[in-house]
Structure 1
Amino acid sequence: MNAKTGLRIFLIFATGYFLSYIYRGLNIGFAPFLTAELGLSAGDLGLLTSVYFASFALAQLPAGLALDTYGARKTEACLLLVAALGTVIYGMSSGMMGLIVGRFLIGIGVAVCLGAAFMALAKSFPVSRLPMLNGMMVALGGMGGVVVGTPLASLLQLYSWQTISIGMAGCTVLVVALIWFGVIEPKAQQASPKMSFSKQLEGTKRILSHRVFWQLVSLPSVCGGAFYAAQSLWVRPYMIQAQGMLPEQADRLVSLLGISLVAGTLVSGLLARKLERLGLNVFRFAGLGLLTFLFIQLGIIMQWPIPHALLWSAYGISASCNILAYSVMLEVFPQQVMGRVTTAFNMVYFVCIFAMQMGIGYILDVWPQQDGVYPAQAHITAWGIMLGLQLLAALWYFWPSALKVEAAEFA
């Protein structure tokens, strides 16, 4: 594959992931309007926002089969049309049920944006370049996390959340056209039709019952669950209600958090292979980065006397190390189950986000609101519980055992 074709594939799939990232975090800007107009509680907001992650997780196993059967281009383009329908329903709804249905369809529609991108890259570039390319993919897509900060807040001063939702549908259809007409898959990237559906399903079951799979996904999934549960909804309320920031300052830090995540994915991807040549493999490097993420969360909870910009930047940079889990699994598992391994990981990952995002909302509701604000102790308790779960996952991740899966297991 020539460089021009490879760059086009990279940029088109990065655009799709960027779009999915905006969908993920839209409710962080919409939340005050949804609360004011529809009277939603913290538990309602947590449920509504996390429905995206629940449907995303439910779609992963069939999406993995689709990726390995039909390829990245066809699977992602078709599913994004479901997302476009979902955001139209969301923007036209005036009640909780319509919002949930719309959010559910959006989650299904963007379910393969990252998995399809990783699959396209893995079949278009050498394995040695994947940590860097995967990091760059997530970095460009992660700019969506910047958009849902100050840029979204500015848009909401000009347009209603309903109008912005409908506008997202138009953007989604444009991305579908880009993927369908702009990506021409080489033979090496097209899925093989030789394996029966039942055989592929059997391989998926074997992945989900494999000890190595669960050990590899433990820490990245729980840390990613904690980070994205916060970034896509609860981080702004935490900054304002637990740390006493003004809304404008919180909006700037939400955007900074998105930028720091982008920077972290770029740096971690570039460093991973360099450090591997020095004796530190990607598995260990990712684990140490996530342990740093746990340490930073402790600093946030305990309100260490560190400038907010520095502390929250470190939070985003260290969280980016969970993306290296994809590269680790591509090395450990055989290539013929690559799509299913990626989507199985996504399923576990997004179940964690769903559970933590909804759980935070219900924990906050234990405390009575004061003038529409939850006490700082409510937020701190929720974040403390998340940190405890991540510590348990770290023990499992670093438990000494063999981490290798033979291709014969999926023959």
Structure 2
Amino acid sequence: MQTGLIMLCLAYLLSQFFRAFLAVLATFLERDLGAGADDLAFASGLWFLSFALMQLPLGWLLDRSGPRRTASALLLLGGGGGAALFALATTPAHVSVAMFLIGIGCAPCLMASYYIFAREYPPAKFATLGSLMLGVGSLGNLIASYPVALAAETIGWRASLWSVSALSVLVALGIFFKVRDPAPSDSEEKGTVLDLLKMPVMWAILALMFVMYAPTGAVRGLWIGPYLSDVFGLAPSQIGTASLIMGISMIVGTLAFGPLDRIFGTRKWVIFAGNFGSALTMLALAFFIGTNATLSIAIMATAGFLGGTYAVMIAHGRAFCPPHLVGRGVTLVNLAGIGGVGLMQFVSGRIHESMQGTATVTAPYTTIFAFFGLALLAGSLIFLFARDNVD
């Protein structure tokens, strides 16, 4: 099982890479394919949307077929195949199709390990184990920063994508041969995701989950690149460094928040504190939008740290799920988080497109970051009505 979890961690590392590398390649893709920021926002949104849409069948597949076959097959076809298609892209539309396929391939990477944690380990350790997997796997976020910029400048972005495609295939094969499926549940109860949606306790959780990942997922995954390039004129290598700083802060935040539910005896207030603070930092970024690059990078890094409650939120939702619906439960909560980023990326792309040619270059980014901050603020306030739990 340990070797299998290592393979799943590598798969999640690839998932983190794929959701973040567009920000660093933006300059190269605009030069070679004519892909503007709104095109990349659409492609990024498709990644999150296909990832989210896969969560419902994924929950059923995990409960029925187990994580070994589910994760290996999807990563092989979607991750390996999608990355190969990206390497062959000649238009922005090809990039969008490739990102849609890659999103499908990445969909089970984290949830497969969370399913194993939920079935094989004590509930009280779920948030800590989940945060550890999330934090270590988030190294892919770092690889998608300066190293990608360096690789693109050295061997070209196409060769870089071919390499990632080959790595995806190898990891998928490793999952197939090394992951061991948990023993089937002893429960004879049947149910669907609709049974979870009938539980009032889930709705405040899903409301916050829908908006909580956008400040980190959307900004680190895309907008940090065009923003720092358009407003401050930073070069790709400098954007890569800024992305690296934000990526590191996200990992540190994830690892820091993981055990806090057991330390303070509450999940609700740990989650609220992190997300309320993240909302305020996004609003601060909108306010200080054109002051200087160093301040903006520091604010984005702070938002990344405070947004490190994702695994704690999954644990919060999972604690209310009956044993026979664990797979569907964790994927439902994850669907809300990833789906929210996808939809908000589409909206942010339209905001950027509609505000092109405005009097100031900062105006589109002020609106985008304020939109993210206000949405997260609203979700945090709704979450105040959530029920607390600690295993």
- Is 1:67–1:191's contact at 8 Å kept on the other side of the alignment? no
Partner of 1:352: 340
- How do 1:272-351 residues align onto structure 2 when only pairs under 5 Å count? 272-276=261-265, 281-303=266-288, 307=295, 310-351=298-339
Aligned-residue offset at 1:339: 0.8
Closer, same or farther: CA 191–158 of 1 in aligned 2, 3 Å: farther
1:332 aligned counterpart, secondary structure: coil
Aligned-residue offset at 1:403: 6.4
The whole-number CA distance in structure 1 between the counterparts of 2:48 and 2:361 is 27
The whole-number CA distance in structure 1 between the counterparts of 2:183 and 2:93 is 39
Of 372, 375, 390, 1:389 maps to 375
TM-score where L is the length of structure 1: 0.87
Of 1, 26, 31, 1:31 maps to 26
Partner of 2:146: 150
- Is 1:91–1:161's contact at 8 Å kept on the other side of the alignment? yes
* 2:387 is aligned with 1:398: no
Q: How many corresponding residue pairs? A: 385
The residue type equivalent to 2:240 in the other structure is D
Partner of 2:183: 190
Partner of 1:69: 64
The residue type equivalent to 2:257 in the other structure is S
- Is 1:221–1:322's contact at 8 Å kept on the other side of the alignment? no
The whole-number CA distance in structure 2 between the counterparts of 1:114 and 1:11 is 12
Closer, same or farther: CA 193–273 of 1 in aligned 2, 3 Å: closer
The whole-number CA distance in structure 2 between the counterparts of 1:175 and 1:236 is 29
Aligned-residue offset at 1:247: 4.5
Partner of 1:208: 197
The whole-number CA distance in structure 1 between the counterparts of 2:268 and 2:10 is 28
Aligned-residue offset at 1:20: 0.9
Partner of 1:408: none
* 2:132 is aligned with 1:136: yes
Partner of 2:165: 169
- How do 1:70-89 residues align onto structure 2 when only pairs under 5 Å count? 70-83=65-78, 84-89=80-85
* 2:245 is aligned with 1:256: yes
The whole-number CA distance in structure 1 between the counterparts of 2:239 and 2:33 is 23
Structure 2, unmatched stretches of 5+, are none
Closer, same or farther: CA 87–288 of 1 in aligned 2, 3 Å: same
Closer, same or farther: CA 252–330 of 1 in aligned 2, 3 Å: same
Aligned-residue offset at 1:309: 5.4
Partner of 1:14: 9
Partner of 2:227: 238
Q: Identify the range of structure 1 (213-222 vs 113-122) with the bigger mean alpha-carbon deviation.
A: 213-222
Closer, same or farther: CA 211–365 of 1 in aligned 2, 3 Å: same
Of 353, 361, 365, 1:365 maps to 353
- Is 1:261–1:320's contact at 8 Å kept on the other side of the alignment? yes
Closer, same or farther: CA 226–211 of 1 in aligned 2, 3 Å: farther
Closer, same or farther: CA 297–97 of 1 in aligned 2, 3 Å: closer
Closer, same or farther: CA 325–65 of 1 in aligned 2, 3 Å: same
* 2:86 is aligned with 1:90: yes
* 2:98 is aligned with 1:113: no
The residue type equivalent to 1:328 in the other structure is H
CA displacement, residues 274-315 of structure 1 (integer Å, 9 cap, x when unaligned): 111xxxx11221111111111222222222898555433322
- Is 2:115–2:326's contact at 8 Å kept on the other side of the alignment? yes
Structure 1, unmatched stretches of 5+, are 405-411
